[in-house]
Amino acid sequence: MAASGPSTPYVANKPKDIPTAEALRARIPGWGVDLDPKDRPSFPREIYDPGSTGAHWDYPDEQPNREGRERSIEHGQLPPVFGTSAPLHGVSGSIRRYAYRYGEGRAAHWLLLLLGDRVDAWGAHVVSFATLRPDNPITETGVLSEGRRHGIASRFGKKRVDVNHQWIDPIVVGGPWVVAAAGAVLGGRAVVRRGKR
């Protein structure tokens, strides 16, 4: 026990080393200007005021081309407005469409979507090699900035804990390609051997 006796939280008082409001106001420009919760814009959290949003409709016009748009089965209807960034297509689209048969509370929904993402990426990489602009892992990962932006000096001697796992990133990025290449080599050898028999 300290000579001065028990301190908070073993007694009721708050910690003693908090500066006074006057000292804080002098040191921090604007200290306490939002001290009153009523001055805080999200207080209370819910304020019923539909006239304040700028909306001049009770229900928005429905965006056209709604047929086939995937939606969560937790929605009672297709919402009136939606994004059209990258419509479902191909094998990845089938996986994703299947994922939307599961509710958002089911792990299957999200894990199938992640699988669809990986299939989409692998397919896009393969297809890119049949185009005039194949995927380029050097430019697309931005890794050349390592030299221009002090990659080594930024990482080492800085006590950064993320350095402990950053070595995994190239494996995450390149690993599937190594596995695919190894599979192709092994498959090719098997075909050649079978042909020689």
Contacts of another protein in 137-176 (CB under 8 A): 137, 139-146, 148-151, 154-155, 158-162, 164-166, 168-169, 172-173
Smallest distance, another protein to C-beta of residue 181, A? 16
Task: Output the smallest distance, CB 119 to another protein, in A.
Answer: 10
CB neighbour list of residue 135: distance below 8 Å, 6 or more residues apart: 124, 125, 128, 129
Judged by CB under 8 A, the chain residues 105 through 124 that form the site for another protein are 107, 110-111, 113-114, 116-118, 120-124
What distances in angstroms separate CA 151 from CA 144, 145, 148, one per listed residue? 10, 7, 8
Applying CB under 8 A, among 22, 67, 85, 132 the residue interacting with another protein is 85
CA distance 141 to 68: 34
Site for another protein in 56-75 (CB under 8 A): 56-61, 63-65, 69-72, 74-75
- How far apart are the C-alpha atoms of 109 and 105, rounded to whole Å? 8
Which of 1, 3, 4, 9 is close enough to bind another protein by CB under 8 A? Answer: 9
Query: According to CB under 8 A, which residues from 22 to 61 bind another protein?
Result: 24, 27-35, 37, 39-43, 45-50, 53-61
CA distances 186 to 119, 122, 181, 196, Å, are 21, 19, 9, 15
197 binds another protein (CB under 8 A): no
Residues 6+ apart with CB under 8 A from 81: 60, 62, 63
Q: Which is nearer to another protein, 14 or 194 (CB)?
A: 14
Structure tokens at 8: 């908070």
